[in-house]
Amino acid sequence: MKTERSDLFFEKATRLIPGGVNSPVRAFKAVGGKPLFIASASGSKLRDVDGNEFIDYVGSWGPMILGHAHPRVVEAVRNAALSGTSFGAPTELEVSTAELITRLMPSVEMVRMVNSGTEATMSAVRLARAFTGREMIVKFEGCYHGHGDSFLIKAGSGAMTLSVPDSPGVPSTVAAGTLNATFNDLGSVEALVDQNKGQIAALIVEPVVGNMGCVPPARNFLHGLRDLCTKAGIVLIFDEVMTGFRVARGGAQALYGVRPDLTTLGKIIGGGLPVGAYGGRAEIMKLVAPSGPMYQAGTLSGNPLAMSAGFETLSILMGEGDFYDRLERKSSRLAAGIDKNIQDLNIPASQNRVGSMSTLFFTPRSVTDYPSALLADTRRFGTYFRAMLERGIYLAPSQFEAGFVSIAHTDEDIDRTIHASREALKIAFS
């Protein structure tokens, strides 16, 4: 595969941008090699600056559920741009988008637009603190909620040890306010709630984890969290930045039938433009300025270009009655093909999937939480990743990420992927 031009850009980029990338996951550090520079994309395909073409399963890390450059989304953004790109004053489109979101996700009675998932989770936690008058939060080891200070905390050797920051620059006082529990382990949450009675403002969770690879919730885990939070007066926040409008039209909360107090959104609601949002019970949302005292603002929040892409994307998802059935058929075709490869070749791997989100973990035992995810063989994943790339398949450059199928993936794309995966597995496990 020719990568001259990508290599040249990367060399220049590393002198100008830290690590050569504007978000660390884009670097190919975890898999060895250098990132490709993308020139264009349409439908299920990405094209790099050297003219290589790939079937894309990153989908900009989640937003591109319609595929790249969907004609209706492009047209909506073009029309919005012609009418002015930002006013710093309200527009009709913000109201229509808010209305669409509240219809698709009934637990979201009111919603505030921001510019990224990170902003959404930071704001939701501030709001939960304002609402409860408490300061601590509970999160789960291996869940990612953006790069806000309170979220960059690991539990160290277990949920009961003192919280220490994952990143220099995070104040230890902030780290101390974040408690880590184990995903799919209600007991670990109960223990933290007991030990910190009356002090926990919010519990935030990815209802289907995407950020340690795809890890589905165990039966009754989310319902259990709901009960615990209700009893202890804790605000339950579902971080649906990735799962919202992805795992079902109404997100993971619709799929599993659990109603959170607050929901954070991003990715798909921006249709590929920078958008985030947080929303939920009106009683809580009314505390947000200017209707209430909890301050949160944004110069470009509700930006017309971003809203037009998001509104058009959501309208398509809402308008096509069989959209999620079609997406499921494509996703299960891919998963079945890969499962067959694993069986036929006797590969020690296990696949997790919820709808169009999935991860193939290179560990024979099933992955249900962060410790079990960490058992995956990342060196073999690196070999697999590079073999897939050579065969025109663009996967996320890390074992601990979810892959995404879009509605633009054709059966032919999927069959080519299954075939490539068979060869790549042989190489990785030879």
Ligand X SMILES: *Cc1c(COP(=O)(O)O)cnc(C)c1O
The structure tokens listed for 131 are 């609402």
User: Are 271 and 307 in contact, with CB atoms under 8 Å apart?
Assistant: no
Q: How far is the CB of 70 from ligand X (least distance, A)?
A: 20
Query: Residue 56 catalytic?
Result: no
Query: Residue 144 catalytic?
Result: yes
Q: How far is the CB of 211 from ligand X (least distance, A)?
A: 6
Catalytic residue among 144, 256, 384, 394: 144
The length of the chain is 430
Q: Which is nearer to ligand X, 144 or 278 (CB)?
A: 144
Q: How far is the CB of 237 from ligand X (least distance, A)?
A: 11
What are the residues binding ligand X (CB under 6 A)? 116-118, 121, 144-146, 206, 210-211, 239, 241-242, 266, 276
Q: How far is the CB of 117 from ligand X (least distance, A)?
A: 2
Could you tell me the sign of the dihedral formed by the alpha carbons of 120, 121, 126, 130, in that order? positive
Q: Which is nearer to ligand X, 121 or 417 (CB)?
A: 121
d(CA 254, CA 116): 23
Q: How far is the CB of 194 from ligand X (least distance, A)?
A: 27
Q: Which is nearer to ligand X, 6 or 182 (CB)?
A: 182
The structure tokens listed for 266 are 């991003």
Residue nearest to ligand X (CB): 117
Query: Residue 413 catalytic?
Result: no
Q: Which is nearer to ligand X, 232 or 300 (CB)?
A: 300
Catalytic residue among 48, 56, 185, 239: 239
Catalytic residue among 267, 278, 369, 370: 267
Q: Which is nearer to ligand X, 241 or 314 (CB)?
A: 241
Q: Which is nearer to ligand X, 272 or 347 (CB)?
A: 272
Q: How far is the CB of 110 from ligand X (least distance, A)?
A: 20
Q: Which is nearer to ligand X, 147 or 419 (CB)?
A: 147
Q: How far is the CB of 123 from ligand X (least distance, A)?
A: 12
Catalytic residues: 144, 239, 267
